[in-house]
Structure 1
């Protein structure tokens, strides 16, 4: 059957099951929706009448319906198709959509379709011997008729009349081996830009909502740019929403359309940074009455600047002197957070102090202009910051002569590249290693990572908790495209067989950084720069490895580049991917299917596991992922394809950019295994995994106070009484638009998600500053210095009040539930 109930995997009950209809033929256009024969169905697409702009490719044109032909072949031809289609369904109710992309642009088509079909329907309905009732209708009309025919509207009616399915329908193929797994990765630069906008929008919404309430509280709402910034928020919401279109985020638009999308994302990111800056400026002022809005001179300058819609952001260099510069840092997470932050300064002689004057340990690293050249103008300073949830804190940076800073040491392995010049550094200790038969290793309190000297890529991980060595190799691979007529394109992934190892034209330069805050290994290849960083801190940042890749395949021809993690995890043919960052879907690699059929979308995480360990790859951008062999996870990082794949785009993908990909790899020990887990339709991340993903996708936002405002009295801003429960995520706190005009109202939408987690993973000594509360939140104990005036539960869209919409004192969420509330703060 192609009608079924879709069941949510994590729900025990069927009350939320959704009745679904699936079109059974090749396409949703008119030739493929009336029945199984497109040659006949096309004759009933009356936009294709002779003399029009389009015709039937089967070379039999439609005929206008009139009294002379309606009672002969025309009705019988159409009715025969309807009857044949009905055999595929469990009831005699048939849906025949009448449309396509780019249709009903002109009034003439409405007349052509309506009048001709109405003549057919009139004839059918006036002849009882045909045993048919045909009419125009909406989707609601169709499902109402289906409910009635299936007896679902009666007490005796049982949903089991239709099958019940859970899961999803990935990976889609419309014909032959043409699996649509290419678009999971196509144009990854913009997939990443989408996530940056999403993160900045959430951060701006929350800060703006807080600033708006406090400006009203301080009676300076007329000074704060509430209306101007609300318009910027509204535009950013629309641009982010627009980019979720099925030809935008997918990377399946024409080049000039991509530029338009990118420009919209880019402008909104810049505007949101302004909203964040304006809101933070007001919130950290000790004397709120001294607030002055000056759009020409920003009080706070952002940490990075993106030059254009298709360029990577560049870090701002903070100019230090004897007078302290104030670094303001925003924590957009709803938990207390201890995280390493890095900024660029103009001197290695830097000292960091907290707001209370306590010195902070810092690491000063080189900024590299190329593989072997150190910049003399910029230095990276990294230190551990601790911030309350949703808070703004600040640190003082000052240049002090003779300051004892922790300078990083470098080993550079040239791997026989004698012709490569290396300039010495007067500040950093840089040791040049021409050839080495040994190995490279870096470590922190949780693990020790071993690398190959020749490739600079990870080979083993030793976890210190249990003293076990795990084989975890990073490899890079190439996919080509098939030699058949139909080749890979924006939508389709049609490889020429299994991936081939990336073979470097010349050996990579491998640069090893040894520091007190982090150590890292960077491998510079022709097509990518791969960096694996390990933070040397206790707590959450030190529990996982950070991988960043800068990929450039602009000179390639029909190739796709992949990163593979090959481990000794005995995962066999099972792995797990997320669905839109909301739930986890078990997957099975099937050897009977083509390679491209075993790729799935990766939005935020994918993992493999066996009885003792789980290996999770967290991603800061959407890509295609597979586990083609036991112990493997691989992601396609970019694809360059020279031809169209005949799915409507009309071009290949040749507008590749230098693209940044960011990941975290988390290795967790499993405590207890459910023997039935391999047969369950659902799996859950650990609490540690959830928060690792949260921190990856919602990083700290550093800003520096403009030097001319160095004497302004500031105070930290911390809106929550304490951390939210570990399994509770603030999806948003978004100010609702006023009913009059385009400005803000005095209400906000509080959207909460209680994340489901696997409690068989230990939460001890992993650096979490939160606990779980069985999904309960006491409303009046959420906010500091603010009172919750009203809190009403509403539908997710805010359109409808819930039946019990009384003012709440306590929020109670079930696991996996997302709830929206209208909240008014005073």
Structure 2
């Protein structure tokens, strides 16, 4: 059925009656010792627990008088009937229908030091240019600028360079996408290997020739096939300054959808390869093709010890503004920086593209004449109908002066008399002929310019670092320092438009299946890295190093590189050509299940596994029976399987063992109560099922979450000319409500550990689940939307949250899961310009509440009205959007988009403290993000055989990490043999920035902060720390080793890396 355009409120799209009421009601009856811990006394009966909880709710939720009254009535009913758990240890249902879980005997506490809350409200380093202000200032009009269509006419005086000649560095490059229109291997076979083979030969022909390269994924593949002579030639070229590796990441990463874990991981993989094979350290960043630029990237490059960077794809209006103020070069500073510690020198290219017609100067018609691959007779030509000419004696003077005029005009946009002119494009220099055409003709021009002093120019080939060094030298400052009078900028460069209203905001959502899969694999990779590092260290400690299968390390390296490859700006973006089904399997009882907690804090959570019987009992390692909720397994018609959900407390970064076995009567195993709402009929579903299912005729009423309404909306694309595609979002107007003729089938499941509502629509299935467990899992609403729009034509499905939060035109989105960026909805911009990437979360807030939507996959998000958040869930588009891909988005897959919705309230007396440029999540929000993106991994194990040692819980930490620390990775460092680990481990830690002004909740684990202090030697159980050495982020630069018993210190928001030797 086609998505309809009628304006109808989405009946049934809300899925549950007063979910937040249920959320509060479930919370009120669970044991919550953390909130009573200050008195040191815990209640002795279930009734006193409820009464204490009521007192807390009365203080915190004064406006919800009806809810409070209902809770009081429920407690009175309990008091009258004397209803308690029969044994005092079993789940039971209270008189009002709510479930009460047994107290697990583990009091928890939250101790955040006041000093650790100061960062969010402290002063910031002053920036001269704040991108939020720039967006407010600009009109975003698009007048015709003449030959520089998106700019303005550039003039100069001929004598401006008489005293200081213009220095020109022409930088040859070839941008190699590791997978776009062709696959990675096809590109390598057809073009990349020839580019690098030619490079070795052609650079050696003249020491004045230079070249830069960035993608190590391609370079490493070529290196493996290169003979020893080519490898030595490359080392010689690098040593001689003719070849420079720029950025040095595994790929030129996307900067919108990618998570900072993956950004760092691919950067480490590239840098470690360079150090091991070439012994070099990149100095300059090169990002010409990501579709917009994140403020996270300059921070990571700075912490990797790079001194300078270059960016290209920035909104044309911003480029014009920066050019007019000569601000295209600036020190890029993090908005949260309290000083200048994160500053890195950044060069922004001024024109439309990084190809040759748009790099020599403002007039592409002239610049194209100096792209000598386009000489007549070749495969490509100049669209402006004036071809290049081979440089000969008869035309060299005219050619040199024509080119110099462009150089001078371009230099007027910058503050120094040093000019950068890239010379290249996608997959250039794959033929020996092009090397000769470009290098020979340009060298003739350089020689002419340099031997005519009246031209006042010094032109040469150069590398990127040659250019930056010349800028620093011109200002007499050290590398990486701020040149005098150059501006300091903070903020980011989203959303990107290259012309007209063509905003590249569609790719924030394109191919969401792969964006979701990427995040799952990243989590699995991180978990494998941590477990592998701990396993190897424990094997060494036990003297079993030789028996541990180090061959597994090669698999880990392959996984790193595969994940790294997917962070490329045409992979995770969903903008590559078309070219997973995960079967968790049913656990056959009896069996063991080992649960791995990849989070660095203790975790109390509900875990669901599929079992082959409803007669199941689950025990902990020490024989304690745990509460189990049995539910029907709805994804299969088989009656031989069921979902068993049980509560597990898991050690940080640890493994816990549970025993599942057949038990005809387990008082701790309780069956879900399921209600089906069917449109227009009342029938029994799944008759004969051992799990009870009731059915009820559905009505057409709209369900509401308290203060939050959920709607599903549909965007079309423009009816003529330019249309939406893989990159661009070009809607045909405002979204229209999703509509279908019949009401949805709604399934309601209630039980002791979770309750959920599932609504089945034609094009999606929406599940809202609330966990009735103490701690992080029980404090947010879990939302899963299974989207399938494969029968649609040019439609985009959106989920919209409508609330009464007075957020105005301001909302907040994350940058790469690393930091929050304030956004503003601008009426002066088209609808599509107000969408931003959301890799991990977005929120709206007012002086009383904050509503955060956490996401397990990157999607596009906006707030188009006060109190709203809107997420694009999937896109199906039938045409190309003329950005080089050559096809639409027609390979959609059935995709599960997973979210958690978190409502927080500001503490009494705590006003909203966010400045205009910074905002920070609460500690609960950080933990919610962690549990969503790092799910518990369930590993079924066959029953023990004789002679096999019993499985045991593995709790690797001796002391707790502060709860504002995130263990980003614990990565075994490669030895010189790329297939085996060295004795060293990289420990990468991120100290989170916290907003302490939101009400503290029971997190379910002991949470303390330490003002950024950590004693690493006391962190790991049964392991000796033999080396503690601070490193740069990508492990290429080392500081003096610390004493093994030293306490390390991290400032808020900072990421630090250490080399450890554990034994």
Instruction: State the TM-score bracket (shorter-chain normalisation).
Output: 0.7 to 0.9
Higher strand share: 1
Per the alignment, residue 407 of structure 2 pairs with: 82
Per the alignment, residue 235 of structure 1 pairs with: 558
- 2:685–2:694 CA contact under 8 A, matched in 1: no
Per the alignment, residue 1058 of structure 2 pairs with: 821
Is 1:250 matched up with 2:611?
Answer: no
Shift of 1:319: 1.6
- 1:521–1:532 CA contact under 8 A, matched in 2: yes
Match of 1:367 among 633, 636, 644: 633
Distance in 1, matches of 2:797 and 2:740, equals 13
Corresponding residue SS for 2:546: coil
Counterparts of 1:788-807 in structure 2 under 5 Å? 788-803=1025-1040, 807=1044
For residues 419-476 of structure 1, the C-alpha deviation after alignment (integer angstroms, 9 at most, x for no partner) is: x88332442332211144xxxxxxxxxxxxxxxx645x5x223xxxxxxxxx101111
Shift of 1:55: 0.9
Per the alignment, residue 317 of structure 1 pairs with: 586
- 1:602–1:623 CA contact under 8 A, matched in 2: yes
Counterparts of 1:33-182 in structure 2 under 5 Å? 33-71=359-397, 73-150=398-475, 152-153=477-478, 159=483, 161-182=485-506
Distance in 2, matches of 1:50 and 1:602, equals 47
Per the alignment, residue 389 of structure 1 pairs with: 652
Bigger mean CA offset, 395-404 vs 473-482: 395-404
**Closer/same/farther in 2, CA of residues 811 and 477 from structure 1, 3 Å limit:** same
Q: 5+ unaligned residues in a row in structure 2: which ranges?
A: 1-325
Distance in 1, matches of 2:364 and 2:429, equals 21
- 1:480–1:496 CA contact under 8 A, matched in 2: yes
- 2:629–2:671 CA contact under 8 A, matched in 1: yes
Shift of 1:673: 7.8
Distance in 2, matches of 1:7 and 1:709, equals 59
Higher helix share: 2
- 2:356–2:425 CA contact under 8 A, matched in 1: yes
Shift of 1:740: 4.0
- 2:764–2:788 CA contact under 8 A, matched in 1: yes
Per the alignment, residue 727 of structure 1 pairs with: 964
Is 1:378 matched up with 2:641?
Answer: yes
Distance in 2, matches of 1:362 and 1:315, equals 19
Per the alignment, residue 193 of structure 1 pairs with: 517
Q: 5+ unaligned residues in a row in structure 1: which ranges?
A: 257-308, 437-452, 462-470
Is 1:408 matched up with 2:672?
Answer: yes
Distance in 2, matches of 1:741 and 1:116, equals 42
TM-score (norm 2): 0.67
Match of 1:612 among 818, 834, 848: 848
Shift of 1:752: 0.8
**Closer/same/farther in 2, CA of residues 422 and 750 from structure 1, 3 Å limit:** same
Match of 2:976 among 714, 729, 739: 739
**Closer/same/farther in 2, CA of residues 45 and 21 from structure 1, 3 Å limit:** same
**Closer/same/farther in 2, CA of residues 677 and 592 from structure 1, 3 Å limit:** farther
TM-score (norm 1): 0.86
**Closer/same/farther in 2, CA of residues 741 and 475 from structure 1, 3 Å limit:** closer
Is 1:718 matched up with 2:1042?
Answer: no
Shift of 1:126: 1.5
- 1:389–1:722 CA contact under 8 A, matched in 2: no
Shift of 1:599: 0.5
Per the alignment, residue 332 of structure 1 pairs with: 598
Corresponding residue SS for 1:97: strand
Distance in 1, matches of 2:376 and 2:761, equals 59
Shift of 1:587: 0.6
For residues 290-324 of structure 1, the C-alpha deviation after alignment (integer angstroms, 9 at most, x for no partner) is: xxxxxxxxxxxxxxxxxxx3x3x23321122xxx4
Per the alignment, residue 787 of structure 1 pairs with: 1024
For residues 608-648 of structure 1, the C-alpha deviation after alignment (integer angstroms, 9 at most, x for no partner) is: 10000000010111111111111111111111111111111
Distance in 2, matches of 1:109 and 1:399, equals 73
Runs of 4+ with >6 A deviation: 672-676
- 2:820–2:918 CA contact under 8 A, matched in 1: yes
Counterparts of 1:769-788 in structure 2 under 5 Å? 769-788=1006-1025
Counterparts of 1:537-552 in structure 2 under 5 Å? 537-552=773-788
- 1:490–1:652 CA contact under 8 A, matched in 2: yes
Per the alignment, residue 790 of structure 2 pairs with: 554
Per the alignment, residue 884 of structure 2 pairs with: 648
For residues 385-406 of structure 1, the C-alpha deviation after alignment (integer angstroms, 9 at most, x for no partner) is: 0011111111111111233431
- 1:454–1:507 CA contact under 8 A, matched in 2: no
Distance in 2, matches of 1:675 and 1:522, equals 37
Match of 1:690 among 916, 926, 931: 926
Per the alignment, residue 341 of structure 1 pairs with: 607
Counterparts of 1:615-694 in structure 2 under 5 Å? 615-671=851-907, 677=913, 679-694=915-930
Shift of 1:384: 0.9
**Closer/same/farther in 2, CA of residues 596 and 65 from structure 1, 3 Å limit:** same
Per the alignment, residue 573 of structure 1 pairs with: 809
**Closer/same/farther in 2, CA of residues 8 and 769 from structure 1, 3 Å limit:** same
**Which one scores higher on RCO, CA 8 angstroms, separation ≥ 6?**
2
Distance in 2, matches of 1:189 and 1:589, equals 28
For residues 10-47 of structure 1, the C-alpha deviation after alignment (integer angstroms, 9 at most, x for no partner) is: 11212431121111111110001111111111000001
Corresponding residue SS for 1:95: strand
Per the alignment, residue 757 of structure 2 pairs with: 521
Distance in 2, matches of 1:59 and 1:787, equals 71
State the superposition RMSD in angstroms.
2.0
- 2:646–2:753 CA contact under 8 A, matched in 1: yes
Shift of 1:491: 0.6
Corresponding residue SS for 1:193: helix
Match of 1:9 among 329, 332, 335: 335
Distance in 1, matches of 2:604 and 2:635, equals 30
**Closer/same/farther in 2, CA of residues 673 and 164 from structure 1, 3 Å limit:** farther
For residues 562-585 of structure 1, the C-alpha deviation after alignment (integer angstroms, 9 at most, x for no partner) is: 111111111111111111111111
Per the alignment, residue 262 of structure 1 pairs with: none
Per the alignment, residue 563 of structure 1 pairs with: 799
Corresponding residue SS for 1:434: strand
**Closer/same/farther in 2, CA of residues 737 and 475 from structure 1, 3 Å limit:** same
Shift of 1:720: 0.3
Shift of 1:798: 1.0
Distance in 1, matches of 2:822 and 2:373, equals 45
Shift of 1:779: 2.0
Counterparts of 1:166-315 in structure 2 under 5 Å? 166-226=490-550, 228-256=551-579, 309=580, 311=581, 313-315=582-584
Bigger mean CA offset, 34-43 vs 802-811: 802-811
Shift of 1:359: 1.3
Shift of 1:548: 0.5
Distance in 2, matches of 1:222 and 1:675, equals 59
- 2:613–2:642 CA contact under 8 A, matched in 1: yes
Distance in 2, matches of 1:158 and 1:216, equals 47
- 1:479–1:495 CA contact under 8 A, matched in 2: yes
Bigger mean CA offset, 673-682 vs 31-40: 673-682
Distance in 1, matches of 2:787 and 2:452, equals 67
Distance in 1, matches of 2:410 and 2:360, equals 7
- 2:575–2:727 CA contact under 8 A, matched in 1: yes
- 1:589–1:627 CA contact under 8 A, matched in 2: yes
Distance in 1, matches of 2:962 and 2:875, equals 41
Shift of 1:110: 1.3
